Amino acid sequence: MKVKKFGDWKRLEAALENCLPARIEKTLTFAATKSALLLVREIKKGIKSQAPGGQKFKPLAEVTIEKKGSSKALIDTGFLLSAIMQKIMGDKAFVGLLRGTRNKDGDEIVNIGAIMEFGATIQLPNGVTIVIPERPFLHPVMEQYKEEIQQYYAEAILGLLR
């Protein structure tokens, strides 16, 4: 069976593109993108300033400072900092560290990030216990900008009604 189209298909396409569901999707995707870019920028800025979301990191141990030659937490090679990213998924966004991203030693950055965010106690085979205090770099920033992000979405939705 052969189907023949007739009529103004360009006009139909334009009408469908401007219908409310399509406009809602575009608007929410824009708000998600704007929010994600803000969070990525501010998380990276927070790590560099050593106070993400206005919460200062706990200081490094003297032995750690001597070993790495710096008193800055979460900044050694730059892998963690450069791995912070956003992924837009329709009207939602992921902000953080993606699984599968590895540093030069082959360690998954997401595991390193989890240790930094939540802290860890590591028992070495020789009996030495290493305690890494939590140095949250994601959640404080997300909490600090929660109201601003809600405002992005509110403005986007209100813009549809105008």
How much is the pLDDT for 24?
A: 86
Residues pairing with 108 in the sheet: 102
Q: Centre a 10 Å sphere on the Cβ of residue 57 and count the other Cβ atoms it contains.
A: 21
Taking only the tens place, the pLDDT of each residue in 49-108 is 999 999 999 999 998 999 989 999 999 888 999 999 999 998 889 999 999 999 888 999
SS3 label, residue 80: helix
Sign of the C-alpha dihedral computed for residues 80, 99, 137 and 119 taken in this order: negative
Domain boundary assignment for the chain: 28-161
Q: pLDDT tens across 10-19, in order?
A: 776 776 666 7
